[in-house]
Amino acid sequence: MATVTPEELERRRAELARAETRAARQNRVLRLLVAAIALGLLAFPALRGTFSAFNYVIQVLIVIMMFTAMASSWNIMGGFAGYISLGHNVFMVIGAYVAGMLLVYRGVSPFISVFLGVALAVVVGVLFGLVTLRTRGPAFIIASIALLLMTRLMLDNWDAIEGANGLSLPIPDFFPTLGKVPMYYGMLAAAFGAVGLAYGISRSKFGLALRAIAMDEIKAEVAGIDTRRYKIIALALSAIFIAWAGTFWGYTLNYLRPSAFLSVAIAADMALMSIVGGKGTVAGPPIGAFLIILVTELSVWLFGPSELNLAISGTILIVVLLFFPLGIVGTLQSRQRDRLARLRAAVEDTGEAVMKGA
């Protein structure tokens, strides 16, 4: 540090400024990209009838948006608050069955009953929170698995909803004319809603409190955060768009049965997508959902539908946990942050050295 000249300081300052503008420009580009994707998704159904693979593409998009909604919601609890759950698809089955039963027995449109399903899911979320949030860390994960399995066993044996055999939903009247487009918009609303909710939380004081809980719950409590209440609210909020997605997924399948919603694989996918994309980030879960569905489709295309998908999911989860525990977005963010911090520190150091030398 002995040979630091004022010129060196200038050079480092300029480098920092360059890096800061570059980061700002990148952020602007990303924001434009997000807007473009949103507009593209809104407009996509207009292409109906223009190309032969439309039905396939819209189906894949519905699945991606469903998992975007579910992974983003899962992330409120698993990422922001640090409570990893492997039972969040319980909320999905609630949305699906409330809407499905109302459709079968009362002919209510899912676009109305979705709100009932969401309301019930939120209530269940609060109850679930009141009971299970006494545990934390690994105990919470295991309790959530137990909850999933109990729910599955009960629904499988509940005669009123036809148990494990499940029940068919009537084909909606608009189907011949509109195809999957209404379901597409239902799922789009879930995806936008969930990402919007996550974005809102991430920028709020509530989100800050959740992060504090994830970091160190005891310290958060000492700092005056009512951790129990915040966790329960977070769990209830995370139920909303999972139930919403469940409603339209049931409707898309035209068939309800517990195994379609309450499988361990779906619980795993929510966690996997969030972790791959970046736990605790807003952009991570959608990116994770997109990538995992892409890989799944690719593997189906290459090897046919098989258990291989499961093996691939497992491998991705292991590789990410071992080598990129922060996920894609988390790793990129922390790299950018570290770079800027290093440059700033370099400017300060040279500044000090120059002052001392003078």
Partner 1 sequence: MQWLQILVLGLMLGGVYAVMASGLTLIFGVMRIVNLAHATFILLAAYLTFFLFDLLGVDPILSIAITIPVLFLVGVGVYLVLFPRIENSPRFVESTVLLTFGLALLLEGTMGRTFTGTYRLVRPSYGVESFLIGDLYIPKGQLYALIVSAVLLLLLAALLYGTRIGGSIRATMQNRTAAQIVGVNVRRTMALSFGIGIALAGASGTLLSFLFPFFPASHWEWVPVMLALVVLGGLGSLKGALVGALGLSVVAAFVMSEFGPTWQPMTFFLALFLILLVRPQGLYGKPLEA
Q: Which residues bind partner 1 (CB under 8 A)?
A: 84, 86, 131-132, 134-139, 141-143, 145-147, 149-150, 153, 157, 264-265, 268, 271-272, 275, 306-318, 321-322, 325
Q: Record the tokens describing residue 341, joined without a space.
A: 């911090």
Q: Which is nearer to partner 1, 29 or 139 (CB)?
A: 139
Q: Least distance to partner 1 from the beta carbon of 53, Å? A: 28
The DSSP string of 42-81 is: HHGGGGTTTSTTHHHHHHHHHHHHHHHHHHHHHHIIIIIS
Q: Which is nearer to partner 1, 27 or 157 (CB)?
A: 157
Q: Least distance to partner 1 from the beta carbon of 84, Å? A: 7
Q: Which is nearer to partner 1, 64 or 275 (CB)?
A: 275
91, 125 in Cβ contact below 8 A? yes
260, 80 in Cβ contact below 8 A? no
Which one-letter amino acid corresponds to residue 330? G
Distance from first CA to last CA of the chain, Å, rounded?
Answer: 13
Q: Which is nearer to partner 1, 39 or 146 (CB)?
A: 146
Q: Record the tokens describing residue 171, joined without a space.
A: 């084909």
90, 147 in Cβ contact below 8 A? yes
Q: At what angle do helices 181-202 and 284-303 cross, to 10 degrees?
A: 140
Q: Least distance to partner 1 from the beta carbon of 328, Å? A: 17
Q: Least distance to partner 1 from the beta carbon of 334, Å? A: 15
Q: Least distance to partner 1 from the beta carbon of 33, Å? A: 30
Q: Is residue 255 helix, strand or coil?
A: strand
Q: Least distance to partner 1 from the beta carbon of 270, Å? A: 12
| CA 190/CA 197 separation, integer angstroms | 10
Q: Which is nearer to partner 1, 6 or 314 (CB)?
A: 314
Q: Which is nearer to partner 1, 138 or 224 (CB)?
A: 138
Nearest to 181 by CA among 55, 269, 330: 55
